[in-house]
């Protein structure tokens, strides 16, 4: 790696620019401790780019991302652009294009529950008190969302529609190796959710994962049928470490993982390719209902930056410091509105305040 690390900042729409501002505060505090020169450039994306350039992913933005080492993304979309046809909307026309363009085939969503935020989870106390710390890994560029043929044919009662679930060996092998390596850095367990009692693709996933697991003897590999897995995730999430899924199941399961934490505003995500070029973004959307009110939770955006530092800059040391600072601020009872549960020690703070509190709590 050269000694300059370029970050393309794409704040996007809704709460995107508000929470991104807080992540930039954190970045400005830590940048001189990263042993590499950080260069940051902002670009328009999503609805705000449609307003200015008539395109959700203008050439200038795409070129800027190509010249960068990583993308820090806010969120895109909102009612203002809902009148547009699907293929012109901000989400489809920017985020999905970026994922495809950079071949970001692995999506990582950590889901854990902070000790003092148990109240937010919809799960019962006896389940949540065991805690959980899950890394949900979703295959992002293959499977039924992209398989050909797909479409709609025929007429009358014989009209039919079809989608194709297709996985190539190389697609499964490359994500498997990455998943095993992530598991090695954690509790060394992978559970793959599938439907191998019905689907050919799931059977092939199982065969390939089992074969690759011999190269990672320290990691325990398990499989679970998806229908049982959704129940197990509710009943006892603490049994899981790394969850690995094909695209469709991963899309659903990653949201279930988010829901059991009860705090979408805390959850970051990373989408990577095999060179660890990544797009880092909050798990939630642009939250138009609270945009511009200075009440959005910036933690997901700050943790997205923290994931960038871990995966694209390979600096777990600084990542830990950011995570510790967030925990410290939460332990002191500071909450954005979405995290407030009416407990005695809790104090509601604004987006700006939360960003400043976290930044000031980072001890370098
Ligand atoms: P959303 O995630 O934006 O909002 C769902 C709920 O969660 C809302 O009540 C919102 O206020 C709350 N929320 C989300 N993030 C929060 C935060 N950081 N702090 C506090 N509360 C937060 O989902 P939605 O309402 O279905 O979608 C709104 C828009 O966002 C739509 O246009 C959708 O297409 C778009 N979207 C974009 C992305 C993305 O850019 N990656 C992802 C999902 C949805």
| Ligand 1 near 296 CB (within 6 A) | yes
Domain boundary among 260, 281, 314: 260
Domain containing 183 — which CATH number?
A: 3.40.718.10
Shared domain check, 256 and 128:
yes
Shared domain check, 326 and 228:
no
Shared domain check, 236 and 143:
yes
Q: How far apart are CA 327 and CA 322, in angstroms?
A: 9
Model confidence at 344, pLDDT cuts 50, 70, 90, reads confident
pLDDT tens readout for residues 317-340: 999 999 999 999 999 999 999 999
- On whether residue 177 sits in a domain, the answer given is yes
The pLDDT score that the predictor gives to residue 167 is 98
Q: If you average pLDDT over residues 264-287, what whole number do you get?
A: 95
Q: What angle do CA 42, 44, 46 make, to 5 degrees?
A: 140
Q: If you average pLDDT over residues 106-115, what whole number do you get?
A: 94
Q: If you average pLDDT over residues 237-245, what whole number do you get?
A: 98
| Ligand 1 near 95 CB (within 6 A) | yes
Cα of 127 from ligand 1 centre, angstroms: 27
> Which structural domain range is residue 187 located in?
122-260
pLDDT tens readout for residues 184-201: 999 999 999 999 999 999
| Strand partners for 348 | 335
Shared domain check, 134 and 247:
yes
Shared domain check, 350 and 244:
no
pLDDT tens readout for residues 209-232: 999 999 999 999 999 999 999 999
DSSP string, 158-192: G-EEE------HHHHHHHHHHHHHHHHTTTSEEEE
The pLDDT score that the predictor gives to residue 134 is 97
Domain boundary among 204, 233, 260: 260
Shared domain check, 330 and 293:
yes
Cα of 240 from ligand 1 centre, angstroms: 26
Domain total in the chain = 2
| Ligand 1 near 308 CB (within 6 A) | no
Q: If you average pLDDT over residues 5-10, what whole number do you get?
A: 98
CA dihedral of 124, 268, 306, 356, whole degrees rounded to 10: -80
Shared domain check, 17 and 4:
yes
Q: Whose CA is nearest to atom 6 of ligand 1?
A: 287
Model confidence at 173, pLDDT cuts 50, 70, 90, reads very high
- pTM of this structure: 0.95
CA dihedral of 242, 296, 290, 7, whole degrees rounded to 10: -70
Closest ligand 1 atom to residue 46 Cα is: 40
From 56, 285, 339, the mutation candidate for ligand 1 (largest count of ligand atoms within 8 A of CB) is 285
The mean predicted confidence, pLDDT, of the chain is 96
For residue 152, give the H/E element and its range. Answer: strand 151-153
| Ligand 1 near 248 CB (within 6 A) | no
Closest ligand 1 atom to residue 287 Cα is: 3
Query: Taking Cα atoms as reference points, which of 129, 242, 127 lies closest to residue 181?
Result: 242
Shared domain check, 294 and 253:
no
Looking at the predicted structure, is the pLDDT value of residue 92 above 90? no
The pLDDT score that the predictor gives to residue 86 is 80
| Ligand 1 near 264 CB (within 6 A) | yes
Q: Whose CA is nearest to atom 34 of ligand 1?
A: 77
- On whether residue 67 sits in a domain, the answer given is yes
Domain boundary among 260, 290, 322: 260
Looking at the predicted structure, is the pLDDT value of residue 132 above 70? yes
- On whether residue 116 sits in a domain, the answer given is no
- On whether residue 117 sits in a domain, the answer given is no
| Strand partners for 155 | none
Shared domain check, 292 and 203:
no
The pLDDT score that the predictor gives to residue 1 is 57
Residues above pLDDT 70, as percent of the chain:
100
- Please give the positions annotated as active site: 145, 195, 227, 251, 255
Shared domain check, 256 and 127:
yes
Q: If you average pLDDT over residues 258-277, what whole number do you get?
A: 93
pLDDT tens readout for residues 60-76: 999 999 999 999 999 99
Shared domain check, 271 and 171:
no
Looking at the predicted structure, is the pLDDT value of residue 37 above 60? yes
Closest ligand 1 atom to residue 298 Cα is: 18
């Amino acid at each position: 790696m050269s000694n300059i690390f370029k970050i393309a900042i794409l704040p996007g729409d809704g709460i995107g620019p508000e929470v991104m501002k807080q992540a930039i505060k954190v970045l400005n505090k830590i940048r001189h401790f990263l042993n590499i020169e950080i260069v940051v450039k902002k670009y328009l994306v999503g609805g705000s780019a449609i307003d200015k350039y008539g395109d959700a992913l203008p050439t200038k933005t795409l070129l800027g991302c190509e010249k960068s080492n990583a993308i820090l993304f806010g969120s895109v979309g909102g009612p203002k652009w809902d009148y547009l046809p699907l293929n012109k909307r901000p989400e489809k026309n920017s985020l999905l294009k970026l994922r495809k363009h950079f071949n970001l085939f692995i999506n990582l969503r950590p889901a854990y529950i902070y000790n003092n935020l148990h109240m937010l989870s919809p799960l019962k106390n006896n389940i949540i008190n065991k805690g959980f710390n899950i890394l949900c890994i979703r295959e992002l560029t293959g499977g039924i969302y992209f398989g050909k043929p797909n479409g709609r044919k025929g007429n009358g009662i014989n009209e039919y529609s079809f989608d194709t679930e297709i996985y190539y060996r190389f697609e499964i092998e490359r994500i498997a190796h990455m998943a095993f390596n992530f598991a090695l850095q954690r509790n060394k367990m992978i559970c793959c959710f599938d439907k191998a009692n019905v689907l050919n693709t799931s059977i092939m996933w199982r065969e390939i994962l089992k074969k690759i697991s011999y190269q990672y003897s320290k990691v325990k590999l398990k499989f679970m049928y998806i229908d049982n897995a959704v129940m197990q995730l509710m009943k006892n999430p603490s049994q899981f470490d790394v969850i690995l899924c094909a695209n469709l199941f991963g899309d659903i399961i990653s949201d279930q993982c988010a829901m059991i934490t009860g705090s979408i505003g805390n959850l970051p995500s990373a989408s990577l390719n095999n060179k660890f070029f990544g797009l880092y973004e909050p798990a939630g959307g642009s939250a138009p209902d609270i945009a511009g009110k200075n009440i959005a939770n910036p933690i997901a955006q700050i943790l997205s930056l923290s994931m960038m530092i871990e995966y694209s800059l390979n600096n777990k040391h600084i990542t830990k410091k950011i995570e510790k600072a967030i925990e410290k601020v939460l332990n002191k009872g500071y909450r954005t509105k979405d995290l407030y549960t009416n407990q005695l020690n809790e104090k509601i703070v604004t987006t700006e305040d939360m960003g400043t509190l976290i930044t000031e709590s980072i001890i370098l």
